[in-house]
Amino acid sequence: MRDLHEQEIIFAVKKLLSGRANDLLAEKKQQIPLIEFAEYQGGYFVSPVISLTNCEQTEKDRIIRLDTYSLIITFKFPETKEGEFFCYAYSGVVGRVIYENPTLCGEVDRAVITNKKYLSPKKPFCGEGWELTVTLRITVEGNSYAD
């Protein structure tokens, strides 16, 4: 049961990113790759990595029976002149999507962005690219399995 709920959270995030986030990206004046999670052989797409882990619960979370998760969305971009711009563009779009839909389509009680990290290439032209990491704290009420 618990694994199923965690999969639903990841599916809801993917749905928001490939749906509403892509709508927002399409509205931009600049051409920005859309977000896709399918296996494409070419094209102009970005496929972020999404990972979900349990968070340490506060005493309050345990008392009111909240499950807490940390969800990390990682975007990687090649070292190009647009790489830095893409980091900020996707950061803004992800922020807006979560702000507009903090329940992730009704799957959770609340999702909040707790951190955004922008990493530039350490050395020019060494094969490393730009990276954006967005961390969310997700709470789900009444699903505590630590009985």
- Could you report the per-residue pLDDT of 50-101, keeping only the tens digit for each? 999 987 777 877 778 888 899 999 999 888 888 899 999 999 999 999 999 9
The DSSP secondary-structure symbol of 30 reads S
The answer to pTM > 0.95 is no
Residue for token pair 């903090």: 102
Measured in degrees and rounded to the nearest 5, phi and psi for residue 49 equal -95, 130
- Which domains, ranges and CATH numbers included, belong to the chain? 2-141 (3.30.70)
Between CA 34 and CA 38, with CA 36 as vertex, the angle to 5 degrees is 150
